[in-house]
Amino acid sequence: MYRVILFDLDGTLTDSGEGITKSVQYAIEKLGMGEYPLEELRSFVGPPLMEQFMNFCHISQERAKEAVGYYRERYSLVGLYENRPYDGISKLLKELKEQGYLLGVASSKPEYFVDKILQHFSLDSYFDAVVGSELSGQRTSKSEVVEEALRRLGVSDRRQEVVLVGDRKFDVLGARAMGIDCVAVSYGYGDMQELMEVNPVYISKSVEELADFFGLSL
């Protein structure tokens, strides 16, 4: 029986694609690599940023670090707030807390930005631990973030009681690597084919369906 729920942020708690893709577009332009349509940059929502710049742009780690710096120029001022919680998320978190669940956030986004976003949308009070990556580039993989979240919540020896909720294959695989289950949501940035291929314990098509999975009604 699950008693601890970890949530991914982008594509799970908040619809953050606009701010992320516009900031990626800005970074790629600053690199002198042309202008990409925003729709082509949706793959940047979810995976570690530097790794995705390397894969998408076919550039070295050093150039990817430069891209991340450009990205943050825009994201820290504007992109952070081109974002909104999915409908029903605040109510879901409130009801989960009232039912006694221990809640955490486990995101590959830098923890500094995760905290600012949760505070901006008044979601921070629901969480017992908020974990992200380091601005220095450390702790970027989902498995590392999950492990740190388990440590901070004091449930490293209770993994059978923990589930991660996320929208990309990286969430499912990162959770599995750390010995916990993952419930995937298809309303975020991962399509059904991607999610089905990695076999989460459940795929929820909406926030309401996610609430139902945990025995709640919104």
214: tokens are 């945990």
Give backbone dihedrals phi and psi of 59, rounded to 5 degrees, phi first: -125, 165
- Known active-site residue 87: no
Q: Are 128 and 104 in contact (CB under 8 A)?
A: yes
CA distance linking residue 24 with residue 53, whole number of Å: 9
Give backbone dihedrals phi and psi of 137, rounded to 5 degrees, phi first: 105, 0
Paired with 102 in beta bridges are 4
Taking alpha carbons only, the member of 111, 122, 135, 109 closest to residue 189 is 109
Q: Which of 8, 10, 15, 181 is catalytic?
A: 8
CA distance linking residue 144 with residue 193, whole number of Å: 25
- Give 154-177 as a DSSP string: T-TT-GGGEEEEESSHHHHHHHHH
CA atoms within 13 A on the CB side of 122: 3
Taking alpha carbons only, the member of 27, 47, 13 closest to residue 140 is 47
Give the active site residues.
8
